Chains A and B, each alone.
Chain A
Amino acid sequence: MVLMIILRSLSLIFTLVVLPAFAGILPLHFFKEKQRSLSKAIILGYIVSLAILELIGIPIVLTFVYTGYIFLIVLFMVLLVFVVIVGLHVTFRDSVRAKKNGHEFYGAKQMLDSGISKLKESSVESRIYFFIIFALVLFQVIQAVRLASYDVDDAFYNAYARSAQQYGTLYRIDPSTGRSFSLDMRHAMALFPIFQAIVSTLSGIHLLIVSHKIMPVILIPLSYMVYYEISGILFKESRENRMIFMILINLFRIFGNISEYTAETFFFIRTWQGKSLTGNFIIPALIWLFLCLKDDRDNKEGIFYWVLIGILILAGGSSSSLAVLLTAMLTVLYGALFSIREKSFKTLIKSVIACVPGMIYVLIYIFN
């Protein structure tokens, strides 16, 4: 029994933390050395993982009637491990080159050391703020585990995910009645519930425990990691102000239940649902990428960031079909506004190109 619990916990840590963090190594490689951090690796890893899920998941959903789920798990894991291997290979190559040239390589150990030394070097005030943030996030995670919520949509998404596990078929069983029906295109392209089913299958833990209890433990800190990265760009000069920003963001969200529609309400009441992922991870991550793009003055073309934005739009499709439209709309809007500011159409054109994966997604949605 104890061994089983240990194995299941390890499996969860592997699929929800280790694998995404390693999948983030490849995109992290394109960031400047000093900008690299473990939180960036995890954020990027989730973006890449969800995009891969969409990339292979949508054709499988459309073509496989009976055995799509197993095929999806196998292909998803193979591709994810491939991305991890490529990322590790690139990192290893860089470390060898760095040694040859007599430079110190900036790897995981250096990232961790840098984080610890920053905390050690920071003022007492800053450290107090850090512990307040930690306490606030921990409080939200504990509340998420302790509480349950009443939500009608759960009967929809979780039933789809459970059907995938129990029948092996994707989005072809009516979640309400359990009877076979034709492919539900409106929801079939948003594969985040299936991602949770995969985690559940690989860990051997019931889907409902994964979605209601495990996912919030990951998604709440993940969302704050994005805000933390944003704060790093907004408050470069003052670590204290950065920490205060994070404290107030935490409070704003905890007190953000001003209506049932806000992203903050979704964050706590439907943490595990794709809709919450859209409002609390995908859209903030898009803002973060635009801030990175404009902040990186050495990389004026910013091709890598545009590619990442394209990948993020696709990853957004896993949370909901609407997320693709929202992120694409926001991308083009930012592109247009920056173009006006820069008096050049370049940014607008790049923003439109970044939306191509999103456009393909929409076309598949319309023509099926």
Chain B
Amino acid sequence: MVNLFIICLKTVRDYMGMKLLLVLTVGMWLYLFKAEKNRTFRTIFVYAPAVIMLLFVCPISYKIYEISRLDMDTYYRILWTIPVAMITVYGMVRLMGENFKRRIIVLIVSALLIGVCGKYVYASPLLYKSENAYAIPGDTISVVESLREYDSHPIITALFPSVLTLYVRQYDSKIRMPYGREVFDLRKDYTHPVYEQFELPEVIEMDSLLDVTRQFEVEYIVFYAGQKTDVSPEEAGLKFIDQKGNYIIYQDPEIAELIKEWEKYYPG
């Protein structure tokens, strides 16, 4: 139970990022606790958040969440039910009163405090200038369009470097892949036979790679220009199709032939 309690506290810590904004919110909550007379506002901004926080750090709640087969990585989302922004800002505005001068001073001080105690979202490394209207890397679009231009089948199976796997099926879901976003899930020790042969070795052994890609009926393999192979893809039997930026597209003629065979039995 103590362990669970510590996990819950750590979750709160991670959620609040140990930034001073937490102090600001707690300060405003204390102010509302002392000063708020409206019973409805007091219930929503003072009592309910306190109860939610108590329930959140209670090991029993954690256990119930776990027993309910909910994803434990989402436990922190219970904290979304505490209207942190509303509590903080409502407290600040309540401090202002009706006097113009005081209002301006509190507004400027509050804005500065939020700026200093918080973290500017547009400075996040997760945000970057969009390359195109689709907001995905332009290479994904050019590689997929190149494949589409070359192959008229509605569904094609291709292997992409993991950087592209995130975007390909968002753009065109009729392209199949042997594996997808799982490779980015750091929480799981992910493994896939194709991934092991394609992404993990410093130098790709083409025979081993083709052994597994053929098991998954992968017709096209897209290499990153910097990827090293023991023999060139052409020597291994692949057919060069196109190069788009840093990505080189090859076709496996063996699988292409197999698909032609299938088409005799399953036309279209």
- Give A contacts to B, CB under 8 Å: 125, 143, 145-156, 158-159, 162-163, 165-167, 173-179, 206-209, 212-213, 227, 230, 234-235, 238, 240-241, 244-245, 247-249, 251-259, 261-265, 268-269, 275, 278-279, 283-284, 287, 290-291, 294-295, 322, 325-326, 329-330, 333-334, 337-338, 341
**Given the contacts A147-B129, A176-B182, A261-B15, A209 and B134 also touching, CB distance less than 8 Å:** yes
Most chain B beta carbons < 10 A, residue from A149, A167, A176, A245? A176
Cross-chain contact A251 with B129 (CB below 8 angstroms): no
Cross-chain contact A177 with B40 (CB below 8 angstroms): no
Q: Give the chain A neighbours of B126 by CB distance below 8 A.
A: 149-151, 269
Counting chain B residues whose Cβ lies within 8 A of the other chain, the interface size class is 35 or more
CB < 8 Å: which of A150, A259, A283 contacts B80? Answer: A283
Cross-chain contact A245 with B89 (CB below 8 angstroms): yes
Judge whether B9 is part of the interface by a CB distance below 8 angstroms.
no
Judge whether B98 is part of the interface by a CB distance below 8 angstroms.
yes
**Given the contacts A249-B85, A256-B118, A326 and B77 also touching, CB distance less than 8 Å:** yes
- Give B contacts to A, CB under 8 Å: 14-17, 19, 21-22, 39-41, 43-44, 47-48, 51-52, 70, 74, 76-81, 83-86, 88-90, 92-93, 96, 98, 100, 103, 107, 110-111, 114-115, 117-124, 126-131, 133-136, 155, 157, 165-167, 169-182, 184-185
Secondary structure at chain A's binding surface: helix, strand, loop or mixed?
Answer: helix
**Given the contacts A166-B174, A326-B77, A244 and B96 also touching, CB distance less than 8 Å:** yes
Cross-chain contact A159 with B173 (CB below 8 angstroms): yes
Q: Give the chain A neighbours of B173 by CB distance below 8 A.
A: 159, 162-163, 165-167, 173, 175, 178
Cross-chain contact B128 with A287 (CB below 8 angstroms): no
CB < 8 Å: which of A162, A209, A257, A330 contacts B172? Answer: A162
Q: How far is the CB of A196 from chain B (nearest CB, A)?
A: 12
**Docked complex Cα distance between A32 and B51 (Å):** 33
Most chain A beta carbons < 10 A, residue from B79, B121, B136, B172? B121
Cross-chain contact B121 with A256 (CB below 8 angstroms): yes
**Docked complex Cα distance between A248 and B88 (Å):** 9
**Given the contacts A264-B121, A337-B51, A213 and B180 also touching, CB distance less than 8 Å:** no
Secondary structure at chain B's binding surface: helix, strand, loop or mixed?
Answer: helix
**10 smallest A-B Cβ distances: which pairs?**
A176-B180, A255-B118, A259-B17, A212-B135, A178-B176, A148-B135, A258-B17, A257-B121, A148-B130, A158-B170
Cross-chain contact A264 with B85 (CB below 8 angstroms): yes
**Docked complex Cα distance between A247 and B114 (Å):** 11
Q: Give the chain A neighbours of B127 by CB distance below 8 A.
A: 147-149, 268-269
Cross-chain contact A176 with B177 (CB below 8 angstroms): yes
**Docked complex Cα distance between A75 and B35 (Å):** 51
**Docked complex Cα distance between A148 and B107 (Å):** 32
Q: Give the chain A neighbours of B19 by CB distance below 8 A.
A: 258-259
Q: Give the chain B neighbours of A212 by CB distance below 8 A.
A: 130, 134-136
Q: Give the chain B neighbours of A278 by CB distance below 8 A.
A: 77, 80
Q: Give the chain B neighbours of A258 by CB distance below 8 A.
A: 16-17, 19, 21-22, 118-119
Cross-chain contact A291 with B121 (CB below 8 angstroms): no
CB < 8 Å: which of B88, B107, B178 contacts A247? Answer: B107
Q: How far is the CB of A77 from chain B (nearest CB, A)?
A: 23
**Docked complex Cα distance between A208 and B126 (Å):** 18
**Docked complex Cα distance between A275 and B73 (Å):** 13
Q: Give the chain A neighbours of B157 by CB distance below 8 A.
A: 178
Cross-chain contact A178 with B131 (CB below 8 angstroms): no
Cross-chain contact A155 with B166 (CB below 8 angstroms): yes
Cross-chain pairs A/B with CB under 8 angstroms, 13 sampled: A152-B184, A177-B176, A177-B178, A178-B169, A206-B134, A206-B171, A207-B170, A234-B41, A254-B120, A255-B117, A256-B85, A268-B121, A337-B43
Cross-chain contact A252 with B43 (CB below 8 angstroms): no
Cross-chain contact B48 with A337 (CB below 8 angstroms): yes
CB < 8 Å: which of A146, A156, A159, A291 contacts B129? Answer: A146
Cross-chain contact B170 with A155 (CB below 8 angstroms): yes
**Docked complex Cα distance between A291 and B14 (Å):** 30
Question: Knowing that A162-B172, A268-B127 are A-B contacts, what are 16 other residue pairs whose CB atoms are under 8 Å apart, sorted by A's residue number?
Answer: A159-B173, A175-B173, A176-B180, A178-B175, A178-B177, A247-B111, A255-B119, A259-B17, A261-B79, A263-B80, A268-B124, A283-B83, A287-B44, A291-B44, A333-B51, A337-B43
**Docked complex Cα distance between A317 and B16 (Å):** 26
Q: Give the chain A neighbours of B179 by CB distance below 8 A.
A: 176-177
Cross-chain contact B40 with A291 (CB below 8 angstroms): yes
Cross-chain contact B169 with A262 (CB below 8 angstroms): no
Cross-chain contact A248 with B111 (CB below 8 angstroms): yes
CB < 8 Å: which of A145, A173, A254 contacts B121? Answer: A254
**Given the contacts A278-B77, A322-B77, A155 and B134 also touching, CB distance less than 8 Å:** no
CB < 8 Å: which of B14, B123, B155 contacts A261? Answer: B14
**Docked complex Cα distance between A89 and B21 (Å):** 49
**Docked complex Cα distance between A283 and B80 (Å):** 8
CB < 8 Å: which of B79, B96, B118 contacts A257? Answer: B118
Nearest-neighbor residue (CB-CB) of A251 within chain B: B114
Q: How far is the CB of B175 from chain A (nearest CB, A)?
A: 7
Q: Give the chain A neighbours of B100 by CB distance below 8 A.
A: 125
Cross-chain contact B103 with A240 (CB below 8 angstroms): yes
Q: Give the chain A neighbours of B48 by CB distance below 8 A.
A: 330, 333-334, 337
Most chain A beta carbons < 10 A, residue from B19, B39, B48, B126? B126
Nearest-neighbor residue (CB-CB) of A295 within chain B: B40
Q: Give the chain B neighbours of A227 by CB distance below 8 A.
A: 86
**Docked complex Cα distance between A151 and B126 (Å):** 8
Q: Give the chain A neighbours of B122 by CB distance below 8 A.
A: 143, 147, 254, 268
Q: Give the chain A neighbours of B110 by CB distance below 8 A.
A: 248
Cross-chain contact A329 with B121 (CB below 8 angstroms): no
